[in-house]
Structure 1
């Protein structure tokens, strides 16, 4: 059952939109309140005074006509009122008042005229404020027909209302434009900081990023650059440490291998050779993990061709939905996929590779037909040096770094590694990369 829409759904998500809303919304609300007060206080009062004056003139003219009802009297009144009072009078013998009237957009004007005429005239009347652009049509029923008055619109309508609206709208538009330009300029440093953080998360060089903008944004940018230096220093130290350990141990390992190769072939010597080979493999795995953060710039890579080539070399079936080109480090992507394929071969059987695309992501799926991994242990096996004491690791060599290296590489490219159940009954490892 769908709930009611919340206010958050209508609030802008970007800082630019929210800042603009914070500035523009109070201004619009304030101007609406000012306009309401203006029209209901000043403009309505002025219009009411003007309409009462016109209604009084119409009432006087009607009273003068009733004393001597004739066409000549109507003409005399017209000659008297037209020049100075902008009020035209005409008698329409035998006519009746119209039965309908069009409504004015400004209902306040109709209400003011209707109220003023009702207070000033006892006879039935009719008026129309929309028929003529510069005059108001007022008609009063008399015994001979209809006495029609044309009053200048300026006499019953305060034109300052339109002037006020014009300046109100113009000021709002100008303020909005200035706010848009200013806020857009303020949001640029934040967007650049977000782009730099995203690029650094993908292992790209962000040394050309320079913090600028407001003091808070500059401080956040400077903190980001310091954090980048600390992370880089940590990664370099990790790589140097493991590389040094590997280098120091390779020399005695080489001597041991040489000594064992010259010794007589016995069962205990064969086991020693096996141990030395396993130690050498472990050192290679440590170096792979140490270099997982990688260096170098990403380049355009045909991901479908890379996977097809890898599948052909490793004799693994590959399914590609469509040709895809992304910016990546091809050797690292190859290493991650190969680690997952070797992991499936080691602990399961029949690995397969598939490349799928979505509007936002690329999905590299490696499926196998092995025993799988329980859901509650999937996060644990992604940690470095993790091993499982179940059917997947019985009598199998390894140091528990294959999945950790693959996850490192996925994260370097702004993606992630996810483990799920495979439709084939085993494990599905998915490398999700942004498009």
Structure 2
């Protein structure tokens, strides 16, 4: 007999869906009770263990230490009363009974009064906070085996015990300090007060931590809506400070990205207008007669081809700048090998690379295509503006430093920083975006790049990348 595959799947999938449904039904009431804010949930996480701990402490004190001490104290008082009662019942002579009563007052601090022919009006025990009342009643019943009444409420300093005898009632005044281990409310107040104090301290601390997170959330929301809140001050826990610092760096990169793209769009029309104007003029001045020979048109065609090549180079630079890092994934790269590849590519383009020196180092995680573009831009600038090129790579525990030196004319100190602005470093056919692209890529890797005087007389580009 054949079995439908769907019949096999139903028993396996149906219980799973039912379990999921029951789980959702159980989660909904819990979500309604739980606070929605991070502060409320954090305080709840602190409050529940605190209450459990204090409850365990109270139970341990009340259920073990206090109970044991109470049984010992009440047992001792009950034994003294039972012994005194036994002596009183062994004699009927008044002088001897008076001596027993006086000895009980002296030795046991028990006030005894015998009321002949009296009867108990009440039998039982009044209740107070703590186990003392129950322990005393149980110890007296076990030791005396007579009807009795215990009054804890009439006198705050004395426990009044009435015992029914055959010929009357024996009144016993026992000092309460011999039965009471201390005010129970004091320990309860200490437990509740310490829990409340710790909770308030934790609430103040957590409020300060959550305040930093709220400030970060407000700044992120404002920045996402197009407003510039400015850098936020890192405060709070270490993780919150790191998040705030990361937000400030992200905000700075995005603002720089937007400013550079805006400047690029403003410069595109200006830079492209010159070759387009030349093309338009050349086309307007070309002879309209079909009798013109190809040799006569060759200079004009050559000029138009050069203009088109220049426009193509500009557009490629703009597209490279607009692409930025792209979606390339980071991967481990051996930097000396990457420098060798960049030097070989530069040599094929006509650059004179004298040396490539690299210290022994481990692999560094980066986007190799983007770093190749940085090195290509720097080497191309050195080829156009400088002369001979030297490449070097240094490494320590935290950073990899790449040096690109040339022996050209260099750049004055006050102009080096502005070379990283879009359209500022152009010249000799460049678009002025090479260094801008390089800084964008390096800073996106968590590093930096700057220009300085080369020891070989020209310009040095220093790149620093984190391991």
TM-score, normalised relative to structure 1: 0.49
Greater relative CO (CA pairs within 8 A, separation 6+): 1
TM-score, normalised relative to structure 2: 0.46
